[in-house]
Amino acid sequence: MAWPAPRIRSFAGPVNGRGLWTLFMRGFMRVLRFATEGIGGALVSAILFLAVFVFAWAGDVGPVQGVSLPAFVVPGIAAFSLSLNAYENAAFPVVFDKLEGIIGDMLMAPLTPAELVAGYVLAAAAGGLLTGGAVLGVLSLFVSLPIVDPLLLLAYGALGSLLFALLGFITGLWAEKWDRYSVVQTFLILPLGLLSGTFFAIESLPAIGQQIIQANPVFYLIDGVRGAVIGHSSTAPAVGLAILAALTALLWLIAWRLVARGYKIKS
C-alpha cells in the first residue's frame, strides 16, 4: 500500500500565523512546564522581600504620606518579578537552543526573522505577565491594594514584559555559554531592578540621586505599576509609557536585525 505524498502546508497573507503560533506555544508551554521554579520561585522571593522590608522598617508608615509601607512596596516587587521572569524566559531558551543545536531547526522553518523574534519574545513576555500577576494576586491576600487603574496596570505590565523579554532574547543571541547569560543577569538586570525605586521613593533622595534613578528605564516600569495600583507615581503615566514604548521599539529593531544577519546563530 502506497502512502499518499505529503502535502506542503501553505499560509495566506504576509504572516505565517500557524508557524508563529506554534513557536509561541512551544515557548509558553516551556514556561508552564517550569512554573514551579519560575513562578513558584518568584512568589517565594516576593514574600521574603515583603517580609524583610516590612519587618526592617520601623512601623507601618511608608515613604509616601497616606500609603502604608506594604502597599507601597508590593507593586514594585510585582513589577520586579515580572521583568526578571520575562528576561529569564527569553534568554534561557535561546541559549539552550543554541547549545543543543535546535536553533538550526528554527532557522529552517518557514518563518521570517521578525516572526522568529516574535515567537520567542511574546512567549517570554506572556510568562512574565503571568508571573507578575501571580505575585500581585498572592501579595494582595496580605496587603490591601486598591488597583486604581487596571488598564494602565495592564499597559505597563505588557510593555515591561516585552522590554525585558527583548533584552533577554538579545542576551541569548550574544551569550555563547551559560556564564555570559549569568553575567548579564547578575551585573545588569538585578542592579537595574533593585536600584529603581522598588523599595523607596525617589523623592527621599538628593537631586543627583533622583537624576541617576530616573536614568534607569526600570524606574518607569516600577513607578507606573505603583501609580496604577495605589494611585501614587513620581512621573506622569504618559511619560513612563512613552519611554518604555520607545525602548521596546528600539530593542525590537535590534533583535530583528541581529536575527536577520544570523548573529551567532548561523555558522
85-96 per-position pLDDT tens digit: 999 999 999 999
- Whether residue 56 is predicted with pLDDT greater than 70 in this model: the reply is no
Confidence of residue 186 (pLDDT cuts 50, 70, 90): confident
**Helix/strand/coil for 61:** strand
- Whether residue 60 is predicted with pLDDT greater than 60 in this model: the reply is no
Q: Tell which residue, 49, 134, 35, 109, has the closest CA to residue 259.
A: 109
CB 197 within 8 A of CB 214: no
Contacts of 259 (CB under 8 A, 6+ apart): 113, 116, 117, 173, 265
Tens of pLDDT, residues 138-162 = 999 988 898 999 999 999 999 999 9
CB 256 within 8 A of CB 171: no
**Helix/strand/coil for 3:** coil
Q: Tell which residue, 234, 13, 31, has the closest CA to residue 126.
A: 31
Distance (Å, rounded) from C-alpha 224 to C-alpha 113? 32
Task: Count the Cβ atoms, other than its own, within 10 Å of residue 104.
Answer: 13
pLDDT at 202: 83
Distance (Å, rounded) from C-alpha 48 to C-alpha 240? 28
CB 48 within 8 A of CB 120: no
Tens of pLDDT, residues 118-140 = 999 999 999 999 999 999 999 99
What's this model's pTM, rounded to 2 decimal places? 0.90
pLDDT at 190: 84
Least reliable range by pLDDT among 64-73, 179-188, 232-241: 64-73
**Helix/strand/coil for 233:** coil
Contacts of 132 (CB under 8 A, 6+ apart): 78, 79, 81, 82, 85, 157, 160, 161
Establish how many alpha carbons lie within 13 A of residue 70's alpha carbon, considering only the half-sphere containing its beta carbon. Answer: 17
- Whether residue 64 is predicted with pLDDT greater than 60 in this model: the reply is yes
Residue type, 265: I
CB 132 within 8 A of CB 82: yes
- Whether residue 50 is predicted with pLDDT greater than 90 in this model: the reply is no
Higher pLDDT, 116 or 204: 116
Contacts of 32 (CB under 8 A, 6+ apart): none
Distance (Å, rounded) from C-alpha 46 to C-alpha 57? 17
pLDDT at 198: 79
pLDDT at 241: 96
Confidence of residue 6 (pLDDT cuts 50, 70, 90): low
